[in-house]
Amino acid sequence: METRRVVVTGMGAITPLGNNVDTFWQGLKEGRNGIRPITKIDVSDSPVKLAGEVLGFDPRDYMDFKSAKRMELFSQYAVAATREAFLHSELDLSKEDPYRMGVIVGCGIGAMQKHEIEIPKFLSGAKTDPLYIPLVITNMASANIAIQFGLKGKNMDISTACATGTHCIGEAYNAIRLDEADVIVAGGTEAAITNSAIRGFSALKALSTTEDPDLASRPFDKDRDGFVLGEGAGILILEEYEHARKRNAKILAEIVGYGVTNDAYHITSPTPDGSGAGMAMRIAMRQAGLTPADIDYINAHGTSTHLNDLYETRAIKFAMGEKASKISINSTKSMTGHLLGGAGAIEAVVCLCTLSENFIHLTRNSACGEEELDLDYTFRKGKNRSVHCAMSNSLGFGGHNASLIFQAV
C-alpha cells in the first residue's frame, strides 16, 4: 500500500523555560535553568525541593473563563500550546473539513491535584465535585482541544508513561500516512507537580534530592542522582505533504521514521543491554530508509537516573554501532526537568528548532561521564553543527520505547 508523506507545519510549547516556542528555544540556547525551588505545593517535609515549574501561565490568555474552569491544568496547557501551534501553522480552520482533522494528544498521569482534593471529600462523606471524573481522566486534553477548535476527526489519548508524547506524534504520523486524516494535532501534556507524585516517585528513589538547581538534573554525568519533575505541554501540527504544499504552508520538517518496541523486561527499568530501545531506533531508521551514518543528532530521553542513562547509552550503541560516537546527543531534561507525558512532545519541538538553526543545545549541569558513558553528550556548551536528520527517543515505565526521525525538507 502506498503511503503519504507527513510534514510538520506548526508547533507550540508551554514549558519551565517559557510559555511559547521562541522563549523556550532561546532559553535552551542560552543554557538557562528552568529547575527551581518548588512553589506550587508545600515541600517543607519532603526530601525533594526542586522541580521544573511553569511560571506566569494564565489560561484566560488562551481560552474563555468558562472553558478554563472546566479543565484541569494538564488540559489547559495542551489547549494553550495548540493555540500557538495553529497560529504558527497559519491553517485557516474555516476552510478545512473538520472530519479530516484529528487530535492525538496524551497525558501520562492526569490531574493528580484534583484527586488530592476530591478523595478526602468522599472519604469523609462530603459532597464530591460533579465534574470530578471528566476533569481528571487523561483523554480530556485531547477532547478539550477538539472542542476548542472544532476538530471532528480521529481523536485519541495515548498514555504510555514517559513515552506518551512521542507515541502520540508517531501514531498521528501513521494515521496521516494511511489517509485517516489530513491534519492532526499531536503531542503530550503533564501537570504533575503534586504531593502524591513527588511522594510516589520519591518512594521509588527516582527523584534527585539535591537542593542546588545547578546540580539537580545531570543526564549522563557520573554524579547523577535522579530526575527532576517538570510540567508543561508540547504540540505539533502534522499535515499531509500535498495538503500543506497546496496552501503554501511553511514546512518545518518531514517525519520520515517512527519505531516502537517494548522491553518486556521490568515495570520501571529499561533492558540492561539496551536492545529494546535500540530496536526502536533501528525500526525508525529502516522505515526512513536511513543508516546510522545519516543521523546527525539525537535528543535523548536522558533522565539523569543511574539506570536510564546507562541503558540508553547502550541502546544508542546497539542501534548505531561504530557511528554512535559521531552523533551529537543532548538531554533537554537537564534544563526543564522531566515532563513525563509531555517530555517527548517538547523534545520533538527541540528537534525541529535544531533542524532549523543547526544548533545543538548543551546538556546543562553535566560535565563528566563514566566508563560506559563515553558518547558526545554535548557537555559544557552548545555547538553549531549541520543537522539534516534528527532523532528523538523516549523510554517509559513498563518498557515502552519510541523513536521519531525528523528530516529537513
Nearest Cα residue to 259 out of 228, 296, 290, 234: 290
d(CA 106, CA 103): 10
Sign of the torsion angle spanned by Cα atoms 9, 15, 17, 20? positive
Concatenated DSSP letters of 352-405: HHHHHHTEE--BTT-----SS--SB--BSS-EE---SEEEEEEEETTTEEEEEE
pLDDT of the residue at 362: 98
d(CA 269, CA 126): 40
pLDDT of the residue at 369: 92
Is-catalytic flag, 301? yes
| Average pLDDT of the segment spanning 307-328 | 98
| Average pLDDT of the segment spanning 356-382 | 96
Q: How confident is the model at residue 2 (pLDDT cuts 50, 70, 90)?
A: confident
d(CA 158, CA 329): 27
Q: Count other C-beta atoms under 10 Å from residue 385's C-beta.
A: 13
**Cβ-proximal residues to 395 (8 Å cutoff; 6+ apart), any chain:** 162, 163, 270, 277, 301, 308, 312, 401
| Average pLDDT of the segment spanning 324-340 | 98
Domains of the chain by start residue, with CATH: 7-246 (3.40.47.10), 257-407 (3.40.47.10)
107, 162, 168, 351: the catalytic one is 162
Entry pTM: 0.98
Yes or no: say if 319 and 367 are a contact pair by the CB < 8 Å rule.
no
pLDDT digits 0-9 by tens, 25-84: 999 999 999 999 999 999 999 999 999 999 999 999 999 999 999 999 999 999 999 999
The share of the chain scoring above pLDDT 90, in percent, equals 99
Yes or no: say if 313 and 273 are a contact pair by the CB < 8 Å rule.
no
User: 66: helix, coil or strand?
Assistant: helix
Q: How confident is the model at residue 1 (pLDDT cuts 50, 70, 90)?
A: low
| Average pLDDT of the segment spanning 279-304 | 98
Yes or no: say if 362 and 330 are a contact pair by the CB < 8 Å rule.
yes
Q: How confident is the model at residue 102 (pLDDT cuts 50, 70, 90)?
A: very high
88, 301, 361, 400: the catalytic one is 301
88, 167, 243, 338: the catalytic one is 338
Is-catalytic flag, 167? no
d(CA 323, CA 304): 24
